[in-house]
Structures are given as structure tokens and as C-alpha cells.
Amino acid sequence: MTQKSIEISDLPPEILQLLVEKCDFVTRRRLRASSSLMYQVVDSTKLYIHSVELHLFDEAVIVNLLNLPSKPKYLLGFQKNETGGTLFWSQSHKSVNIENPDYMGVAVDWFRQMCLQKNVTIGRFYIFTNVDPKKMTEKLDDVLSKSDTPLKIESLLCAGTESIDSMWKLLENCDKKLLKKMQVVFQGDEIFELFGKQDEIVKNLEKIEINCLCNASVEDALSLNASVISLNSENFTDDLVYELIEKFTNRREDGSAFCIKNSQKRNLDLEMIPPGFKKTDSTNRFKEYRNQLINTNHPTVYLRVREDRVRLQIGDTKILNFWNEDESDSGTNDDSDSSSGSASDSDANDDLLDDRAFDESDFENDEDEF
């Protein structure tokens, strides 16, 4: 007896969605174009992308997507070809030449079709533009401002001063309720204007790390609601540090932390340590303290003081990695029960909170990419 074949259109919507969930980017796009039914199914099936990296180089845009369903990594590029058009390539498909000479526009349009959708959520969005950043900002603004759907990203990492304007456009047009984390990384003495553009977004972030000089005032730092903060400003004083110590200690949120730095004036070597903190270790570079809160249900507060920065952490769960341990500095070992309660900074990473002050997956191995 011959069995009757089943058409895909005969399957119930919930089965179709389960099938689409197992498909990678390319397959989803092909299904989306195959029929009006599949167009609707693909558009209604949620997709979570762990990480999207957008790199702009000389006459090329590279996009890297991580932890997609059925494919751990998906790398593709858009670059100017020899005939003046655009060469589109990916790691698993043949290259395609497109007559459109605007390789940047082609890349941003691809981003619009595949990432700027109501069913797509991006865990981390990374942007790095070191060539023609103004044009990239304009392209992104044109696409984002015309979209009925805000960009859904949970965290944003911006690398390099040239990427700043594009970052603000992304922030301006993202889902404000979904965005929780922000990191800015660049070298040099230029001051990053953290405040004055999107203050409400910045103030409501859960985790913020600015690895460069910024324009934050004492009032700006105190206005932040984040549970993890790393800032460097010549406006910071020891009075700010005292207020933040009190604020974080009273809140007693396990895993919360701050690193307040004034690399210009180096005026943060606290003369008085708040009540409750006991000295546990010291070197010629720093002094360490801990506050074992009376109620044993609450986590221990760890404090490290240097003339150019003060760092505080609440809780033990990530302490070994949080402080970037260096045995030669403190004489301690890997034992979490050591007398200092924490390990020392390493010179290489001294400016930053360790990535584990964020979640392990937030900004994994980003510093190695710049």
C-alpha cells in the first residue's frame, strides 16, 4: 500500500516552528523565501543568537555570529571586488558577486534582514569600526530609524574611538528594557563622553564597564543603578568612594562590585577606612580589607585600596578570578581560604574588573581580539 506523502504545508504550526528552530541562518532565510506560509513561520519562530560581531575594515565588513542553533560559529564577509561590485562570502558557502558597489550597504541590509527582526534576540553585540566610521553610522541610522522593531540586544561592547557614534545609534534604537550591560574599550587619552547623550539608558544598566577616561562626575557615578561598575574619571574623589562603599555594603547584593579609578590625579588612597572593615593584607601597591557582615547569611565584603583606584566586591563566589590574582604581588596562593580573602591585581589587566564580574559569557575573550 502506497503511503501518501505529507506536504510541509499540512503540518501544524507548532511542528513547523519546532523544525525551524533547528535550522541555521541560511536555511531559515531559504525557507522564508519559499512560500508565504514559511515566511510567516520563520518570522514567528524565536531565535536567540549568543553573539553578533560587526567588524569594519578597509573595504570590507566582517560579521561573526556565535552559538547559533546547529552551528557554533557563522562567519561571513562583504567586500569590494575587482569589478567595483560587492563580493559576498561565508565560511561554508561559495562566494557570490553582487553588482551593488556599496559593500557596506549590502552588509547592513543583511544585518537588517537577519538580525533586526521582532523574533530575534542577540545576547551580545560587538562593534568595531576603524575605517570610514561616519558612513557606517549613517548606514546603521538609516536602517534602525526606519524599522518598526527595535534592535533586541542584551549587552553591547564597543571597541575603539571610531566606533562610538555607531554605538550611540545602536543604543538609541535598541529595546531599552532588554539592554542590561555595556562595555567600552579603547586606548589613548581621549575622554569618552559617557554622560550627555543617552543618560537614562546608562543610568538603568545593570552592569557597566568603561575602560578609558570618561566624563562622569561624582553625581553621575552616584546616579547609576548598576550592580557592577567600572569607571575612570579625573572628577572622582575619595568622598565618592566612601558613598559607594556605604551604598554597596548596605545593599548587600552578592556578586555586586565596583572599581572607581582616577588615573590622572591618583587621589584615592583613603585616609580612613569605613567601620567594619579589617585589614587583611598589604603591599607597596595596595591595601586589602574585608568586612564580615554580622548576619552570616550575608556575603563578605572585600575592599582593595590604591592611590589611583578603589575596588570593592561583595561575595566569595568569583573572587579568585575577580581580582586577577598574581602570587608574586601578595604572596598568597590559589586557596580561597587564604588570609587576604582575595588575590592581587596583575599589571596586565589592572585597569579592568575581571570579566567574571560580569557573567562568564558576557564579554568572553574580547581583549584578545583587538
Amino acid at 264: Q
- pLDDT at residue 315 is higher than 90: no
State the pLDDT at residue 350: 40
Compute the average pLDDT of residues 100-110: 93
- Measured CA to CA, the distance from residue 314 to residue 316 in angstroms comes to 7
**What length does the chain have?**
370
**Distance in angstroms (rounded) separating the CA atoms of residues 49 and 72:** 10
The distance in angstroms from the start CA to the end CA of the chain is 64
pLDDT attached to residue 130: 84
Instruction: Share the mean pLDDT of the chain.
Output: 82
User: pTM of the entire structure?
Assistant: 0.79
Q: Quote the pLDDT of residue 331.
A: 35
Over residues 300-316, mean pLDDT? 92
**Cα separation of 68 and 368, whole Å?**
22
Extract the C-alpha cell encoding 280.
587583611
Q: What is the DSSP letter of 203?
A: H
Q: Residue 123 is which amino acid? A: G
pLDDT of residue 235: 96
Beta strands in the chain (DSSP E): 47-57, 60-68, 71-80, 86-90, 96-98, 120-129, 153-159, 181-185, 207-213, 228-232, 257-261, 278-282, 287-291, 301-305, 309-314
Asked if the model's pLDDT at residue 369 lies above 50, the reply is: no
pLDDT tops 80 at residue 6: no
Nearest to 351 by CA among 230, 197, 240, 219: 230
CA-based angle 238:245:330, to the nearest 5? Answer: 85
Q: Which three cell numbers stand for residue 194?
A: 559617557
**How far apart (Å, rounded) are the C-alpha atoms in residues 54 and 107?**
10
Residue 231: predicted pLDDT = 97
Residue 155 pLDDT:
97
pLDDT at 201 over 50: yes
Lowest-confidence pick of 92-101, 174-183, 242-251:
92-101
State the pLDDT at residue 341. Answer: 38
pLDDT above 90 covers what percent of the chain? 55
In this predicted structure, the answer to whether residue 320 has a pLDDT above a threshold of 60 is: no
